[in-house]
Structures are given as C-alpha cells and as structure tokens.
Amino acid sequence: MPDLYAINLHLQERLERDWRGEVRAVEAARWLDKARLLRNHKNGLPLRRLLRAGRIAGQEQRPDRKNGAWFIRRLAESHDPNAIRPARQRMRRYLPFERGHLHPDWPLSRDNPAFWDVNRL
C-alpha cells in the first residue's frame, strides 16, 4: 500500500530541489519508482490512478478533460529559498488534516477518512 504522505512529500521536495514549477506525471512516476515509493509500470498507471482519484497535492490536468495530460505543480509560490519553508515543514501541518488547515491546492475528498485508502482505487 503506497504511503500518500511520503509520495506527496517526495514530489514536492523534488520540485523544490530542482527549482521546477511543475512536472509531467510520466516523469514524476519515474521519480517515485526510483525512490521506491510507487512502482512505475504501464507508463505511470499507478500514479495516474492516484491523480484521477484526486490524491496528489498540486495536481492539474491540461486540458481539463478526460484525455488531458497530468501535471504536478509545486505548492510554493516563490523560488526564493528564504521566502518559503522547506516542503517537509509546509506539509507537516496538513496531517492530521482538517479542511480549515489545508492549503487551497491540497486535494480534498468528501468521503473522509476513506480518502487516504488507496486500496479503493
């Protein structure tokens, strides 16, 4: 069972480390496979399933339709290292999660707490 907190944290830390504003889902799937957080097969299918379920922070589909390409955006507004806290510190406040404490880009589900149960995918 994949650890969604570790997956989201790894993606945000990697975007921060590489000074990137976003990454395509296919490349992000390779990052997660290399970090042994989520196996990459069928060109990123496990990650795409999480994206379709709305469980990846900063996710965006362009164009916003069924066959659009998936991207994962960096949650920080600035590339200035002094302007933002590291990803680990920013994301720590999201768990345990309550709607009032979440970043506007954080994926929400109406059926908490089963939201984090990846076996339902």
Q: How far apart are CA 102 and CA 1, in angstroms?
A: 24
Per-residue confidence (pLDDT) for residue 119, from 0 to 100: 54
Q: Alpha-carbon Rg of the chain, whole angstroms?
A: 14
Task: Give pTM, 2 decimals.
Answer: 0.64
What ranges do the domains of the chain cover?
4-115
C-beta of residue 29 within 8 angstroms of C-beta of residue 73: no
Question: Tokens in use for 82?
Answer: 């002094």
Contact between 64 and 19 under an 8 Å Cβ cutoff? The reply is no
- AA identity, residue 20: R
Indicate the length of the chain as a whole number.
121
**pLDDT of res. 34:** 94
Per-10-residue mean pLDDT, the chain, length 121: 83 89 94 92 88 89 86 74 57 52 54 50 49
pLDDT of residue 77: 58
Whole-number pLDDT of residue 107: 55
For position 71, what pLDDT does the model report?
Answer: 95
